[in-house]
């Protein structure tokens, strides 16, 4: 009997999934299909190392006094009840949680006459739980700093940098991180049965002028490091561009040294590190560490996203899709918490957290539950929802083997241009999330495509590419996009896409002008109030527009022109402003201009829609139908055929489709139907949702219900699998196995 978490404020934190085997049997009887209960229809993949399998991580980040009377049994009880397979515990660095015979050691003053890391690592080893040690080398307090001042970061005058949060900062090249830090990691792995290291706060802010950094800079450039005020805007300016590039390189070299030290203990010992969210711009640039570039050094990838970061509820899924685009072979882990990140002692609203976690899992993610409130939940001040991850972890555990090798199965990929993020960050995140929002609402299977992984293979099976104001594109990227469209791929782009090269240098016009069928007239208008778009001709991209001659405009609009020799069509044109006040003057005469806002073009075998305004950003920040419906219709038009998924599910249900490349799919539904306020305190159950998944040249052979809130039927109808979900409370997931049709 599964234990249910206690009720909280009248909310039920988690609904245990419906008894799956019952459904499977009834489906079996009804459909005559050989529904699988336990095993996959396909040969199991060879045993993957532990860090390549779904991860169910709990971290109890200890405060200093938490070691007093540290209750190893209580911690292990929490790990077991959570159904976790990995625990993260404090190692050392700022404060050491073990006795370390080193002049630089900084033992926790509350340490008792025992070795909790030894006890814990033995207990974890006995129960098959992986244990990672958290280390943090961002800085040291004054007393330790004085023992080796030459190991620390320095300002332009060569003097040590001022204290940050009471710590003398360090740099990637200095002795503190490299001699002391790596030595401490070796000691942890030698002394305890640890499975790896969680490197917290990897980044190092700003410029360092220590002797080592100066020497390395001089060796690379023949010059001294430029001296500028210690401010982020100075650091991010052009004078420091060369330094920033070198520093990012030094960051990678440092990580490589750390990684080698860990791998000397065996390939199964892992390095993972803290990097910031997928849309963070300033920290990667000032800190020299970016998930975008450091991912090859980590054994699994972590995206940090907490509910109280004030983000959109689908960010948990976005984070996983993004990490899967960076490296589809590695586990993508959502670093989040059952407690708030800003107010660490208090739990997150359970129903909202539940949707957050399922959103990550539906997209193929693993979960990391970070708690900073005591040694284990019985010691927490707030004990209302410590087992928040238990049911999601249980799901991951039960489906571990069957879900191996599953990756996002995308009809449409959203292009993530790292060069644009770095150079044109205004609106970058919103444009990407706006495109995602529309795709999710339309139930179009989506994924990311990152510019550092942009290969022909990354476009396999993709029907349309969406470029959310991808301003900075290289010649090679442009050529690959061109080839994709020429061969029949769809393309939807907006605003400044391809106006600059990857270094941010203006191209003087769109690099993709021939594909868009138009070019820029060179002027950006602010169109955030009282601007409109005049409909020039009816077209499928306006299928949902209805009875109107105009559409709303917003944000900024790039004035464009369609050349005389272009076969492109202007669907709408730029008009305005039509002033709101005084109302008697709320009119203009000739409302037409020659500047198109929506351009449809045919290029090779492909269909192209270009928007001169920031439609994707507006889909997130405004959400008006003149943005979200039109973008949705444009994507549908660019795809150029019937959708692979058809469903009557409302937009508040997110579908996620994974596939393993061998004919197995996992289709998941996450119900976000709730009252119009956050946090989610109520979730409306839905009845009778039908999904038709077009299997192309394959047909349904088997299926397996992975999670359900009620009966689910799966049947073969022509080339489709038709799935009927009779009740959806929160999360349902179905494995669909297919076989190649006979020729
Ligand atoms: Zn330095």
Q: Are 195 and 57 in contact (CB under 8 A)?
A: no
**Among the ranges given (497-501, 527-531, 552-556, 583-587), the one the predictor scored with the smallest mean pLDDT:** 583-587
> Going by DSSP bridges, is the β-strand pair 332-336/664-671 parallel, antiparallel, or unpaired?
unpaired
Asked if residue 659 has pLDDT above 80, the reply is yes
Which strands sit side by side in the sheet containing 270-273, from one edge to the other?
270-273, 196-200, 130-136, 86-92, 56-60, 366-371, 332-336, 301-304
Query: How large is the average pLDDT for residues 15-44?
Result: 37
> Going by DSSP bridges, is the β-strand pair 464-467/412-416 parallel, antiparallel, or unpaired?
parallel
Find the 287 Cα to ligand 1 centroid distance in Å.
13
Look-up of token digits 């609009």 = 557
Find the 277 Cα to ligand 1 centroid distance in Å.
26
CA 662 to centroid of chain Cα atoms:
25
Asked if residue 280 has pLDDT above 80, the reply is no
Query: How large is the average pLDDT for residues 278-293?
Result: 79
Find the 247 Cα to ligand 1 centroid distance in Å.
9
Find the 205 Cα to ligand 1 centroid distance in Å.
11
Find the 150 Cα to ligand 1 centroid distance in Å.
9
**Among the ranges given (12-21, 315-324, 638-647), the one the predictor scored with the smallest mean pLDDT:** 12-21
Find the 206 Cα to ligand 1 centroid distance in Å.
10
Q: Per-residue confidence at 675, pLDDT binned at 50, 70, 90?
A: confident
Find the 180 Cα to ligand 1 centroid distance in Å.
15
Backbone φ, ψ for residue 610 (5° rounding): -115, 130
Q: Per-residue confidence at 528, pLDDT binned at 50, 70, 90?
A: very high
Residue 40's pLDDT is: 41
DSSP 165: T
Q: Per DSSP, what are the bridge partners of residue 659?
A: 407, 665
Q: Cα(390)–Cα(368) distance, rounded to whole angstroms?
A: 12
Residue 649's pLDDT is: 98
Find the 155 Cα to ligand 1 centroid distance in Å.
9
Query: Tell me: the pLDDT tens digits for 698-739?
Result: 999 999 999 999 999 999 998 999 999 999 999 999 999 999
> Going by DSSP bridges, is the β-strand pair 519-526/532-535 parallel, antiparallel, or unpaired?
unpaired
Q: Per-residue confidence at 485, pLDDT binned at 50, 70, 90?
A: very high
Query: How large is the average pLDDT for residues 169-177?
Result: 97
Six-digit token string for 39: 């095993």
Find the 282 Cα to ligand 1 centroid distance in Å.
20
Residue 45's pLDDT is: 55
C-alpha closest to that of 665 among 48, 41, 34: 41
Find the 63 Cα to ligand 1 centroid distance in Å.
29
* 3-state SS, residue 401: coil
Residue 540's pLDDT is: 98
Q: Where do the domains of the chain lie?
A: 20-44+645-740, 57-140+171-205+251-404, 412-639
Q: Per-residue confidence at 687, pLDDT binned at 50, 70, 90?
A: very high
CATH number 3.40.50.880 given to 412-639:
yes
Instruction: Compute the half-sphere exposure of residue 307: CA atoms within 13 Å on the CB side of its CA.
Output: 25
Q: What is the mean pLDDT of the chain?
A: 91
Look-up of token digits 């570039």 = 293
Six-digit token string for 463: 């029907």
Query: Tell me: the pLDDT tens digits for 49-75?
Result: 999 999 999 999 999 999 999 999 999
Q: Per-residue confidence at 232, pLDDT binned at 50, 70, 90?
A: confident
CA 518 to centroid of chain Cα atoms:
33
Q: Which CATH class is domain 57-140+171-205+251-404?
A: alpha beta
Asked if residue 20 has pLDDT above 50, the reply is no
Please, where are the H alpha helices in 288-336?
291-294, 315-326
The interaxial angle of helices 211-221 and 241-263, nearest 10 deg, is: 110
Residue 46's pLDDT is: 61
Query: How large is the average pLDDT for residues 271-279?
Result: 83
Long-range contacts of 259-262 (CB under 8 A, 24+ apart): 259/297, 261/182, 261/185, 261/186, 262/185, 262/189, 262/196, 262/197
Contacts of 734 (CB under 8 A, 6+ apart): 666, 667, 668, 703, 704, 705, 706, 712, 714, 723
Q: Are 409 and 658 in contact (CB under 8 A)?
A: yes
Look-up of token digits 């037409």 = 592
Q: Is the ipTM of this complex over 0.90?
A: yes
Find the 302 Cα to ligand 1 centroid distance in Å.
27
Q: Which residues surround ligand 1, an ion (CB under 5 A)?
A: 171, 173-174, 208, 210, 213
Please, where are the H alpha helices in 160-296?
175, 182-191, 211-221, 232-235, 241-263, 282-287, 291-294
Fold matches, 20-44+645-740 and 412-639 = no
Asked if residue 27 has pLDDT above 60, the reply is no
Contacts of 305 (CB under 8 A, 6+ apart): 277, 311, 315, 316, 319, 334, 335, 336
Query: How large is the average pLDDT for residues 196-219?
Result: 96
Query: How large is the average pLDDT for residues 89-103?
Result: 96
Residue 12's pLDDT is: 34
Q: Per-residue confidence at 229, pLDDT binned at 50, 70, 90?
A: confident
The architecture in CATH of the region 20-44+645-740 reads: Sandwich (2.60)
Q: Per-residue confidence at 475, pLDDT binned at 50, 70, 90?
A: very high
Query: How large is the average pLDDT for residues 160-182?
Result: 96
Contacts of 448 (CB under 8 A, 6+ apart): 321, 322, 324, 325, 413, 414, 415, 416
């Amino acid at each position: 009997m599964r234990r249910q978490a206690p009720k909280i404020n009248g909310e039920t934190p988690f609904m245990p999934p419906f008894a799956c085997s019952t459904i499977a049997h009834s489906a079996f009887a009804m459909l005559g299909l050989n529904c699988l209960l336990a095993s996959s229809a396909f040969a199991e993949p060879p045993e993957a190392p532990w860090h390549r399998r779904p991860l169910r991580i709990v971290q109890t980040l200890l405060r200093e006094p938490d070691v007093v009377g540290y209750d190893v049994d209580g911690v292990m009880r929490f790990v077991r009840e959570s159904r976790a397979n990995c625990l993260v515990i404090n190692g050392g660095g700022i404060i050491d949680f073990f006795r370390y015979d080193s002049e630089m050691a900084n033992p926790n003053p509350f340490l008792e006459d025992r070795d909790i890391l030894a006890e814990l690592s033995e207990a974890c080893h006995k129960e098959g739980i992986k244990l990672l040690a958290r280390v943090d080398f961002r800085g040291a307090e004054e007393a330790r700093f004085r023992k080796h001042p030459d190991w620390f970061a320095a300002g332009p005058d060569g003097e040590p940098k001022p204290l940050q949060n009471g710590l003398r900062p360090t740099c990637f090249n200095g002795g503190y991180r490299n001699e002391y830090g790596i030595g401490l990691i070796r000691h942890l792995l030698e002394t305890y049965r640890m499975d790896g290291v969680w490197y917290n706060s990897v980044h190092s802010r700003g410029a360092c002028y220590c002797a080592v950094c100066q020497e390395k800079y001089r060796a690379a450039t023949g010059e001294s490091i430029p001296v500028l005020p210690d401010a982020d805007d100075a650091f991010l300016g052009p004078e420091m561009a060369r330094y920033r590039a070198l520093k990012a390189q030094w960051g990678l070299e440092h990580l490589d040294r750390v990684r080698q030290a860990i791998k000397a203990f065996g390939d199964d010992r892992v390095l993972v590190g803290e990097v910031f969210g997928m849309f963070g711009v300033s920290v990667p640039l000032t800190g020299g560490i970016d998930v975008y570039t450091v991912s090859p050094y980590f054994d699994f990838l972590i995206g940090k996203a907490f509910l109280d970061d004030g983000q959109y509820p689908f960010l948990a899924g976005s984070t996983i899709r993004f990490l899967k685009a960076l490296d589809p072979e590695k586990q993508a882990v959502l670093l989040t918490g059952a407690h708030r990140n800003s107010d660490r002692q208090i739990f997150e609203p359970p129903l909202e957290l539940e949707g957050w976690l399922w959103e990550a899992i539906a997209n193929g993610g693993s979960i990391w539950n970070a708690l900073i409130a005591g040694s284990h939940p019985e010691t927490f001040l707030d004990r209302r929802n410590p087992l928040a991850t238990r049911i999601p972890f249980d799901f991951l555990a039960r489906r571990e083997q069957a879900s191996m090798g599953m990756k996002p199965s995308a009809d449409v990929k959203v292009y993530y241009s790292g060069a644009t993020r770095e150079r044109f960050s205004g609106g970058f995140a919103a444009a990407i999330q706006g495109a995602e929002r529309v795709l999710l609402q339309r139930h179009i299977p989506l994924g990311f495509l990152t510019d550092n992984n942009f290969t022909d293979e990354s476009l396999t099976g993709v029907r349309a590419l969406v470029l959310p104001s991808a301003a900075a594109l290289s010649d090679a990227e442009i050529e690959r996009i061109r080839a994709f469209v020429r061969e029949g791929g769809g393309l939807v782009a907006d605003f400044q896409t391809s106006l600059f090269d990857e270094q941010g240098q203006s191209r003087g016009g769109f690099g993709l002008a021939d594909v868009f069928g138009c070019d820029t007239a060179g002027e950006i208008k602010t169109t955030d109030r009282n601007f409109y778009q005049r409909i020039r001709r009816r077209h499928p991209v306006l299928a949902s527009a209805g009875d109107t001659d105009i559409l709303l405009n917003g944000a900024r609009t790039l004035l464009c022109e369609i050349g005389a020799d272009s076969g492109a069509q202007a669907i709408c044109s730029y008009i305005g402003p039509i002033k709101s006040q005084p109302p008697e003057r709320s009119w203009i005469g000739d409302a037409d201009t020659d500047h198109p806002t929506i351009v449809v073009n045919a290029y090779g075998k492909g269909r192209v829609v270009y928007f001169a305004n920031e439609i994707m950003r507006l889909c997130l920040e405004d959400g008006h139908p003149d943005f979200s419906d039109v973008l949705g219709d444009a994507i549908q038009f660019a795809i150029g055929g019937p959708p692979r998924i058809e469903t009557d599910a409302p937009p508040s249900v997110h579908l996620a489709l994974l596939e393993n490349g061998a004919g197995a799919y996992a289709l998941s539904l996450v119900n976000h139907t709730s009252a119009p306020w956050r946090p989610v305190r109520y979730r409306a159950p839905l009845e009778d949702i039908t999904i038709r998944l077009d299997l192309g040249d394959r047909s349904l052979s088997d299926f397996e219900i992975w999670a359900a809130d009620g009966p689910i039927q799966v049947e073969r109808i022509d080339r489709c699998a038709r799935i009927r979900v009779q009740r959806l409370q929160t999360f349902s997931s179905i494995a669909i196995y297919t076989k190649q049709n006979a020729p």
